[in-house]
Amino acid sequence: MYDAVVIGAGPAGLMAAEELARAGRRVVVFEAKPSPARKFLMAGKSGLNITKDEGREEFIAAFGDGFLAPMLEAFGPAQVVIWARGLGQEVFTGSSDRVFPKAMKASPLLRAWLGRLQGMGVELRSRWRWAGFEGEALRFDTPEGAQIVAPKVTVLALGGASWARLGSDAAWVPWLVEKGVEVAAFRPANMGFAVEWSAHMAKHFGAAIKGAALHVGGRVERGEFVISARGVEGGGIYAVSKDLREGAALVLDLMPDVSGEEVVDRLGRMRSSETVVNKLRKLGLSPAAVALVMEFGRGVPVGEAVKGLAVRLAGPRPMDEAISVAGGVTQAAVTEGLELRAIPRVFVCGEMLDWEAPTGGYLLTGAWATGRWAGIAAAAVGR
């Protein structure tokens, strides 16, 4: 009989495996893909943002309803930094208090981590795809055919429903639901939004809008976003994506450091015969920002359009394009140790759980914190 099994070799699953091994359990990690942590590696291609250097209360508040609060108290930004340094990965704090490994990429950290896990006796089996339950046992599709595994304790770290090509395809949902586990419907999070552009916008696809203030549902966020053929996306949009998903309007202040009165005064000093495009250029707007005003501000006084441009969105982009998801195994479905109430000795962690956080270091810290929490609780089973 297997002792401790972890299904899913992403950040949450590997962290659960580490805690199980540290507690003396014999651990096998099963991964459906040919190699581990594919989404983790993809996320780190443009710079691996592992956490955010900010106050404890502010950091935890970014996760919303407090579901993850005890886990983040135990493994928050300070602990993430210590853990990374323990793997020989020095870190630094960049702009907006985001924390990165000095190597910037995910691969050096992952290699060091896998090496440590191997040294702790953790076995990793690739191309073992979980295929549901066989009674109380686990069924896997493997290169050698179907395999049945009956561990003493199991940790599920199968991801959510975004980036299916990297392994997070939510195929596990019906198997847990059949066992009586409550799973909230998945929704995209940290995603772009579709816009039905007119033809003149095509030449601006790929252009960034910098320095704007995004007014959404009573909130104001400063951030950069990109105009794409599909709509609008990027950090500024992701920061307000939850409110936009729930129906709030997007209004842009394209000159947030200049008062409305000053904008009107500057416009008033320009020749009345000048075109709107020329006036916008003289205000200092980029060509892409000018195009946005022309796209959404026709019929609105120029000053009002610059300071309060209502952008017409056509809904969120598909979930498989989202960086993360909301929804998953509900808080009511698990114990304080993240054990499934309906399936004893089975624990869940990572994006399988129903929590949502913005980009900027929160997502990885949340995955690690829940994996650690589940691993510690699972290690105590049968002891």
In a 10 Å sphere around its CB, with 0-12 CB exposed, 13-18 middle and 19+ buried, how is residue 152 labelled?
middle
Tens of pLDDT along 314-330? Answer: 999 999 999 999 999 99
The pLDDT value recorded for residue 65 is: 87
Question: What whole-number distance in Å separates Cα of residue 341 and Cα of residue 124?
Answer: 27
What does the domain layout of the chain look like in residue ranges? 4-188+322-379, 193-311
Mean pLDDT for the stretch of residues 109-137 = 97
Tens of pLDDT along 329-364? Answer: 999 999 999 999 999 999 999 999 999 999 999 999
Cβ atoms of 27 and 6 within 8 Å: the answer is: yes
The pLDDT value recorded for residue 382 is: 78
Cβ atoms of 125 and 31 within 8 Å: the answer is: yes
- What CATH number was assigned to the domain covering residues 4-188+322-379? 3.50.50.60
pTM for the model stands at 0.94
Phi, psi at 68, each rounded to 5° = -90, 0
The pLDDT value recorded for residue 57 is: 94
Alpha-carbon 291 to chain mean position: 30
Question: What whole-number distance in Å separates Cα of residue 323 and Cα of residue 201?
Answer: 25
